[in-house]
Amino acid sequence: MSLMSREHIRSVIAAIEVANVEGPLWRPDGDVLNGLSGSKTVGALQRLAGLFANLSDACYLEIGVFQGLTLLSVAGATPSLPCFGIDNFSILDPEGQNLGIVHDRIARLGCDNATLINLDFQDALLSLGDHIGARRVGAYFIDGAHDYRSQFVGLMFALPYLHDNAVIVIDDANYTFVRQSTHDFLVSHPEFKMVFEAYSPAHPANMDAITLARWESDWLNGVNILVRDPDRLLPDMLPPVTANRDLFVNDWLVHRHVLAELAPEALALAAAVIAGDTAAVHDARTCLIAAYAADRPRFDARFPDRNTQSGGLTQGRFNRLSG
């Protein structure tokens, strides 16, 4: 049993405990940094990254930079630690301004240790060594796309690059499919243990102003925090998941359907029909038909259902040993 592991796990828990009471460790003067993460989440990231600040082989990594709140809060608090943030600015950026905002904030805050990786997160993780070199990720924050697969891939593809003592902070754990991916990762990787979980009553978009202000100074949309525990010192602790997996089965039913990509528009139409809102039905119907027309050749080339995307694939091939 390793004394180092025990001490490290204690340090991780102590860092989270302080963040849970005190919030951010450091924040810049004025209004240079705002964003979409809770104050306690920011404080935990800063303190957890700080555990690796004096290790020359370590770095901080995050998926989901947005306008730089978490990346630059960590980079500013731990100037000796290289901090990398992955974002392709594919959502929450209708004016296409976020890349410029991040670069501007890096310059204004003088965060020379912050590096933006402007790529899709999967591509970035598959080539992570090209970006972080021989460093290992000590503190890792996952706050990008929140579908089940993206969450799980975010955990799995980073594994070869994680530090022996890595800590993983998973944001938006209010979502059941985020918790499900954390759950599945923990069950399949028992050398990792959850050390902390916290949730709020709803997504911030569904909170009134007073409730939102209260949770913005907290963990906002929920968090799961994991630590590598190779000696299995911690007991098992799993995030709550629903026993009913119908929604995951629905993934399969949607993905194989001729109109799979139109599921969001189709659901908006269904909601308008159920609400009996004639104007909303008209608008949603117009959106659905426009989205269909925009990509019609793709839809028309498919079967009504049970599409497999297997046409043209090999009917059988082996992988053989060389020599």
Ligand X SMILES: C[S@@+](CC[C@H](N)C(=O)[O-])C[C@H]1O[C@@H](n2cnc3c(N)ncnc32)[C@H](O)[C@@H]1O
Kindly list the residues in this chain that would bind ligand X in the complex (CB under 6 A): 35-37, 64-66, 69-70, 86-92, 120-121, 143-145
Q: Determine phi and psi for 216, rounding to 5 degrees.
A: -65, -30
Residue 69 or 178: which CB sits closer to ligand X?
69
Residue nearest to ligand X (CB): 35
- Minimum Å gap between C-beta 283 and ligand X is 26
What SS3 class is residue 101?
Answer: helix
Residue 4 or 92: which CB sits closer to ligand X?
92
Rounded distance between C-alpha atoms, residue 88 and residue 98, angstroms: 10
Residue 36 or 162: which CB sits closer to ligand X?
36
- Minimum Å gap between C-beta 151 and ligand X is 11
* CB-CB neighbours of 269 under 10 Å: 21
- Minimum Å gap between C-beta 101 and ligand X is 11
* CB-CB neighbours of 54 under 10 Å: 10
- Minimum Å gap between C-beta 272 and ligand X is 27
- Minimum Å gap between C-beta 106 and ligand X is 14
**Which residues make beta-bridge pairs with 84?**
61, 115
- Minimum Å gap between C-beta 50 and ligand X is 18
**Contact assessment for residue 306 and residue 254, using Cβ atoms and an 8 Å cutoff:** no
Q: Identify the sign of the CA torsion 229, 232, 234, 235.
A: positive
**Contact assessment for residue 26 and residue 251, using Cβ atoms and an 8 Å cutoff:** no
**Contact assessment for residue 141 and residue 169, using Cβ atoms and an 8 Å cutoff:** yes
What SS3 class is residue 200?
Answer: coil
- Minimum Å gap between C-beta 70 and ligand X is 4
Euclidean distance between the first and final Cα of the chain, in Å? 43
3-state helix, strand, coil in the chain (%, to 5): 45, 15, 40
Residue 124 or 284: which CB sits closer to ligand X?
124
Per-residue tokens: 61 = 């990594």
Q: Distance from CA of residue 19 to its chain's centroid?
A: 20
Per-residue tokens: 59 = 């770095």
Residue 35 or 76: which CB sits closer to ligand X?
35
Rounded distance between C-alpha atoms, residue 129 and residue 136, angstroms: 9
- Minimum Å gap between C-beta 282 and ligand X is 31
Residue 73 or 165: which CB sits closer to ligand X?
73
